Amino acid sequence: MNYKNLGNSGIKVSSLCLGTMTFGDGADAAMSKKIYQTSRDRGVNFFDCANVYAKGESERILGKLIYEHRDEVVITTKAYYPTGNTVNDRGLSRHHLTKELNKSLKRLNTDYIDLYYMHCFDTETPLEESLSTLNDFVKQGKIHYIGLSNFAAWQVMKAISIVEKSNYEPITCIQPMYSLLKRQCESELLPMAYSEKLGVTSYSPLGGGLLTGKYHNSNVDGRFKTSEMYQKRYDDEVTNKTVDRFIKFAMANDYDPVSLAIAWVSANQTITAPIIGARTVAQLEPALNSLTIEMTKELRDEISGFSLTPTLATDRKEEQLST
């Protein structure tokens, strides 16, 4: 396992991060323990969570798993999405962030979160209020680093400009979606992250499971059988074509598609660690094996050719932004 500095910070994280969204939702406590232990045995020290995963159960399960060796692991959690029915049970207000961080600390059974994310941009709360709240959390020792997930590049830059002007703790990391099927972050977010020396832990490297190729078989079970959100997110002709081409290529060249798809994400120089997700140890193994694939430039370019290169942040096509 390789370890990298998380953005411009001193903390070192494994080049794969284990997502825990399945803990308590697909994987029960016993299976979550096996998934966690297998990852640890292979050198993973970086675990991603959120307050809303399995309605708090993912944090509870992860909290029990890390308790004996808390200082050996780097854990994240997040807040933004609704946790109740009142108007203030959501968003990035001082009220909601404070309440949710304290609940996360309790469920995770810890005094501190290594990396605390705002899970999404909040159009109804001044960003200054959210960032001053997170700055206070760092000062109180409750969180160590600040991250932003699902923010557009201009929103990240707005946050950076506020923390610099106000002398708040810096933004250390972003968490966008990124896979062969979802490449929008290549046009602005990744070049921005590279330029600002931000860590990037990207999620859904398998397109929620589509890049496993398993949905070619209609009897298989998986997220796309039950989740309307995922069906909508990936429901288009281009995606289907990309999956077909990718799976044919993987099979013809003797690659496990799971390993290949994750290695393709890792090979982007701006990515610190893709966040892998699994519901069983059998699903996890090929994800961990992605580290053994030698992703040459030629191989990466060939695979990139199976999907659409995203529109650049300029209409001057000849002036490519480098990532």
Ligand X SMILES: NC(=O)c1ccc[n+]([C@@H]2O[C@H](COP(=O)([O-])OP(=O)(O)OC[C@H]3O[C@@H](n4cnc5c(N)ncnc54)[C@H](OP(=O)(O)O)[C@@H]3O)[C@@H](O)[C@H]2O)c1
- Shortest Cβ contact with ligand X: which residue? 19
CB of 16 to ligand X, least distance (A): 11
Closest to ligand X by CB, 117 vs 137, is 117
Contact positions with ligand X (CB under 6 A) in 241-260: 258
The amino acid occupying position 287 is A
Among positions 190-209, residues that touch ligand X (CB under 6 A) are 203-209
- Residue 21 beta carbon to ligand X: minimum distance, rounded to whole angstroms: 3
Q: How many residues bind ligand X (CB under 6 A)?
A: 29
* Three-class HEC string of 274-316: CEECCCCHHHHHHHHHHHHCCCCHHHHHHHHCCCCCCCCCCCC
Residue from the set 51, 212, 270, 290 that interacts with ligand X by CB under 6 A: 212
d(CA 102, CA 118): 15
Q: Please answer whether residues 257 and 287 qualify as being in contact, where contact means their C-beta atoms are separated by less than 8 angstroms.
A: no
Min separation Cβ 251 and ligand X, Å: 14
Catalytic entry in 3, 36, 53, 80 = 53
C-beta closer to ligand X: residue 17 or 162? 17
Q: Which residues contact 154 (CB under 8 A, 6 or more apart)?
A: none
> Out of 275, 288, 299, 303, which residue is the one contacting ligand X (CB under 6 A)?
275
Q: Which is nearer to ligand X, 104 or 322 (CB)?
A: 104
Looking at beta carbons only, is 263 or 276 nearer to ligand X? 276
The nearer residue to ligand X, 191 or 208, going by C-beta atoms, is: 208
DSSP string, 35-82: HHHHHHHTT--EEE--TTGGGGHHHHHHHHHHGGGGGG-EEEEEE-S-
What is the SS3 assignment for 97?
A: helix
Cβ 31 to ligand X shortest distance, Å: 12
Phi, psi of 163 (to 5 degrees): -65, -35
In the complex, what is the shortest distance from the CB of residue 322 to ligand X, in angstroms, rounded to a whole number?
26
Site string for ligand X, 119-158 (x = CB under 6 A): ------------------------------xx--------
Q: Is 117 annotated in the active site?
A: no
Please list, in sequence order, all residues whose beta carbon lies within 8 angstroms of the beta carbon of residue 153, skipping any fewer than 6 positions away. 188, 189, 192
Residue 25's Cα: distance from chain center in Å?
17
Spell out, one character per residue from 34 to 63, where the chain touches ligand X: x when CB under 6 A holds, - when not. Answer: --------------x---------------
Backbone conformation region of residue 43, classed left if phi is above 0, alpha if psi is from -120 to 50, else beta: left
| Shortest distance, position 26 Cβ to ligand X, whole Å | 6
State the Cα–Cα distance between residues 274 and 262, nearest whole angstrom: 7
Find tokens 């059974």 and name the residue. 109
> Residue 186: which residues within 8 A CB-CB, separation 6 or more?
268, 309, 310, 323
Considering the complex, what minimum distance in angstroms separates the CB of residue 315 from ligand X? 30
Residue 204 parent element (H or E): none
Q: Give the chain's count of helices (H) and strands (E).
A: 12, 10
Single residue of 39, 283, 290, 307 touching ligand X by CB under 6 A: 283
**How far apart (Å, rounded) are the C-alpha atoms in residues 305 and 180?**
10
Return the number of the residue (229 or 320) whose C-beta is nearest ligand X. 229
Instruction: Report DSSP state, residue 154.
Output: H
Would you count residue 175 as binding ligand X (CB under 6 A)?
Answer: yes
Binding residues for ligand X, per CB under 6 A?
A: 19-22, 26, 48, 149-150, 175, 203-209, 212, 214, 222-223, 258, 275-279, 283, 286-287
The residues assigned a catalytic role are 53
